[in-house]
Structure 1
């Protein structure tokens, strides 16, 4: 049977649309005089933020802007300065807004009722997670284990290190008994690298990139179109399962448990 579910945070269980890091990235780069788009940011969303900033600095358009403004390419010191600005912006924003997505508590309570361990991995640092974790706890969401790349020698996603760390803590040897749930392609890759089952979540995901209000304002046809676009991206990444809402995970767990010969 399924023994553990590992969730991502922003875009999966909190922060519908994964808006906080996008805002912080834009502000940090704007402070350096560089304009970046949502699409450029979301391309590698889910990575450790230091690595993510490195990816953005490698973009051709960013290099061109940097060269035009500073007559040189960004240095390691430049990367450190942007990272520092990003951290300050993100932590400020997280303190203001870290709301649970719809269905999170219901799903969490189901998992605990059936004795399934709940853990998390993230691209956030421990300092960032301290803010998010405390806010989530105030609303009743308290995973058994919260892991960052700092717990595994800074081996961020898509490395399987954080999932392997969790499996070791939970004394789970068989990766088929573990599910990784996330809203980015990096989440799916992380799960695949660890050999666990992977589930992509559609609504409120970073891949969709819409706030709750923006999604709700779409007509039914537009919502279906947005969902299908995200589903195609998860399919292209070979996610094992794709769900619209987090509570749909219950059906996946029951299906997997039945296929493993365990019925409740």
Structure 2
């Protein structure tokens, strides 16, 4: 039987479209004179933010912009400055708006009813998470365990360390009894590295990169096209299951439980 589900936060359970970090990254880099595209940011979304900034600074276009502006490549001090600016911008935005996605409470209540433990991993720091989890708690979403890379000596995604930490805390030894749910490829890689089942969420995901309003304004055909693009992305990394929205997870759990019953 499935004993635990481990959710991501932004783009999975809160912040439809995972917009908060994108806005904060753009502001921090713009303040340094560097223009970023959404693609620049989203390709490594889900990593610990310090690591993510390092990845962005390694992008060819960013290096070229930096050298043109400063006549040198970015160094560790530059990275620290951008990270500090990013943190400040993100904390401000998180305080203003990080709403639960549709279906989260309904899914959470189902998991509680069936005795399935709920934990979370994230690319956010503990300070960032304090803002997010407090707002989520006000709406009724209170996971049993909320873990950041700071709990595991800075080993952020795609390392399996956070999931392994959660399994130990929950006293679960069999990864087949655990599901990791996320909206980025880094989420899936994290789950695969921990040998747990992986589930990718399509709507409101960072991979889709649209706000709720932007998605709703698309006609039915374009919505289907967008969903299919995200599904193909998840399929390229062999995600175990891909679902449109979070409440579809209930069907996955029931299917896996039935499969385990037959196995035994």
Aligned residue in 2 for 1:5: 5
Q: What TM-score, normalized to structure 1?
A: 0.99
Give the superposition deviation at 1:169: 0.2
**In 2, Cα distance between equivalents of 1:118 and 1:75:** 39
Aligned residue in 1 for 2:168: 168
Q: Which SS does the other structure have where 1:258 is aligned?
A: helix
**In 1, Cα distance between equivalents of 2:217 and 2:194:** 38
**In 1, Cα distance between equivalents of 2:36 and 2:219:** 29
Q: Which SS does the other structure have where 2:261 is aligned?
A: coil
Gaps of 5+ in 1: none
Q: What TM-score, normalized to structure 2?
A: 0.99
**In 2, Cα distance between equivalents of 1:173 and 1:63:** 44
Cα distance per residue 1:184-229 (max 9 Å; x no partner):
0000000000000000000000000000000000000000000000
Aligned residue in 1 for 2:98: 98
Q: Which SS does the other structure have where 1:200 is aligned?
A: strand
- Within 5 A, what are the aligned runs for 1:75-90? 75-90=75-90
Q: Which SS does the other structure have where 1:260 is aligned?
A: helix
- Within 5 A, what are the aligned runs for 1:51-130? 51-130=51-130
Give the superposition deviation at 1:55: 0.1
Aligned residue in 2 for 1:27: 27
Q: Which SS does the other structure have where 2:239 is aligned?
A: coil
**In 2, Cα distance between equivalents of 1:146 and 1:101:** 18
Find out whether 1:40 has 2:40 as its counterpart: yes
**In 1, Cα distance between equivalents of 2:15 and 2:36:** 21
Aligned positions, number: 262
Aligned residue in 1 for 2:220: 220
Give the superposition deviation at 1:74: 0.3
Aligned residue in 1 for 2:190: 190
